[in-house]
């Protein structure tokens, strides 16, 4: 087992989709086979957006059940809820004192919120809460609390990991080496998975195919993928087809090549191609889906795993916080 500590957070703000699976969840599960991996559900980070506790709770269970049913080794990795570890709130407050305000002003997500307000003719800080403004500090606390070496994230989170590294650097400069300096790994190798309309699959575009939706819903969504109007007999370009781009991530090399040839040679209509895609995705996901549905009917099993995860995470969190309290407050 590699000694590096890997950590990532997943925000419970939506139902995970095929893009999340290919771009983030699947690589994470593979990584957890040979690294000590902390995966937490970032429910505190959801608070600046979602005000309904039941919604946060539902997405939290969904994410935990998805990770468990996709085969995350819960003995080798630590799956927990961010809010279960009080030390993270404490560390975030302490880190505020070494974090320059200017750093927060430069955060892409905060700047994007300001730009949106200005474009709408509103006050630049309209609707922006301190949870959004200090989001990177809480995220730095997440990362630094567990002595993390690497943080696998999507490209949009790279700046946040750099901020965590900066904050650790400022802290170490004042108080002596207390924190490891974390690095991000950006999951670009899988590329961007297109959604129903051909744009990036994203909950913000309302074009998603949910990862473990019931079979009938999966089929309905796949049949709704937008295509061009080529006739069955015409040759089609696999590389610009959403159907083929999705198929690539679920089939074997031989199957992919065969499907490619069917696209190029003509003779296969998009309806048939969608049925082939559905059968493939369904065959890969039907077992995890059954397990997912079972777990969602038995939330106490999910609670147990999250509680065991929290106990393991707490051991490290307590040590780190004690180290910080000692150097900052002489405690
Ligand atoms: P969304 O765009 O639906 O809001 P998130 O931003 O919450 O998704 O993404 C969570 C993770 O899933 C990130 O690591 C991101 O890189 C990955 N991801 C999301 N959408 C895609 C996609 N269409 N293709 C590949 N990876 C994706
Ligand atoms: N901010 C991340 C997102 O929006 C989620 C997250 C919270 C996270 N804390 C983290 C990711 C720590 C990696 C490490 O997707």
List, chain by chain if needed, residues with CB within 6 Å of any ligand 2 atom: 7-9, 11, 42, 45, 139, 142-143, 151, 153, 157, 160
Question: Packing angle between helix 299-329 and helix 270-297, nearest 10 degrees?
Answer: 80
Ligand 2 mean position to 157 CA, how many Å?
Answer: 7
Cα gap 245→264, rounded to integer Å: 14
pLDDT at 189: 66
Of all protein residues, whose CA lies closest to atom 22 belonging to ligand 1? 19
pLDDT at 13: 93
Neighbours of 70 (CB within 10 A): 20
Ligand 1 mean position to 210 CA, how many Å?
Answer: 12
Q: What b/e string do you get for 257-289 counting C-beta neighbours within 10 Å, with b at 16 or more?
A: eebbebbeeeebbbeebbebbbebbeeebeebb
Question: Residue 36, SS3?
Answer: strand
pLDDT at 1: 63
Cα gap 284→251, rounded to integer Å: 9
Task: Report which bound ligand comes closest to the CA of 22.
Answer: 1
Instruction: Mark the ranges of the chain whose per-residue pLDDT is less than 50.
Output: none
Question: Residue 217, SS3?
Answer: helix
Residues whose CB is less than 8 angstroms from the CB of residue 234 and which lie 6 or more positions away in sequence, other chains included: 266
Q: Best substitution site from 20, 41, 156, 198 to test ligand 1's pocket, by max atoms within 8 Å of Cβ?
A: 20
* CA nearest neighbour of 97 among 175, 214, 34: 175
Residues 196 and 224: beta-carbon distance below 8 Å: yes
pLDDT at 120: 97
Atom number, ligand 1, closest to the C-alpha of residue 194 = 23
Cα gap 314→83, rounded to integer Å: 11
pLDDT at 188: 65
Question: Residue 37, SS3?
Answer: strand
- Ligand 1 contact, 19 CB (< 6 A): yes
Report the alpha-carbon angle 141-176-139, nearest 5: 10
Query: What domains can be seen in the chain, in order of their start residue?
Result: 2-192+299-329 (3.40.50.620), 203-292 (1.10.240.10)
């Amino acid at each position: 087992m590699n000694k590096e500590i890997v950590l990532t957070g997943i925000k419970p703000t939506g139902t995970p989709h095929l893009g999340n699976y290919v771009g983030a969840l699947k690589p994470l599960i593979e990584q957890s086979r040979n690294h000590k991996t902390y995966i937490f559900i970032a429910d505190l980070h959801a608070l600046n957006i979602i005000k309904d506790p039941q919604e946060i709770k539902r997405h939290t269970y969904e994410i935990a059940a998805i990770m468990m049913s996709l085969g995350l080794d819960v003995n080798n990795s630590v799956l927990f809820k961010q809010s279960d570890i009080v030390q993270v709130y404490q560390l975030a407050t302490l880190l505020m004192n070494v974090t320059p305000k200017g750093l927060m002003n430069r955060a892409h997500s905060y700047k994007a919120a300001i730009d949106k307000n200005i474009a709408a003719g509103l006050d630049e800080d309209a609707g922006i809460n301190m949870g959004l403004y200090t989001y990177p500090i809480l995220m730095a606390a997440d990362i630094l609390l567990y002595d993390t070496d690497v943080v696998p994230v999507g490209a949009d989170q790279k700046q946040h990991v750099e901020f965590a590294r900066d904050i650790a650097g400022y802290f170490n400069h004042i108080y002596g080496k207390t924190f490891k300096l974390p690095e991000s790994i950006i999951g670009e190798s899988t590329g961007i998975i297109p959604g129903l309309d051909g744009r990036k699959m994203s909950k913000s575009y309302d074009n998603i195919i949910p990862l473990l939706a019931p079979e009938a819903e999966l089929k309905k969504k796949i049949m709704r993928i937008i295509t061009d109007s080529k006739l069955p007999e015409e040759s089609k370009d696999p590389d610009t087809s959403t159907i083929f781009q999705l198929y690539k991530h679920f089939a074997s090399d031989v199957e992919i090549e065969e499907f490619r040839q069917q696209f190029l040679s003509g003779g296969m209509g998009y309806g048939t191609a969608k049925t082939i895609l559905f059968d493939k995705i369904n065959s890969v996901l039907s077992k995890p889906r059954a397990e997912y549905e079972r777990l969602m009917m038995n939330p106490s099993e999910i609670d147990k795993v999250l509680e065991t995860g929290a106990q393991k995470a707490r051991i490290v969190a307590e040590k780190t916080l004690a180290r910080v309290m000692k150097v900052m407050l002489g405690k």
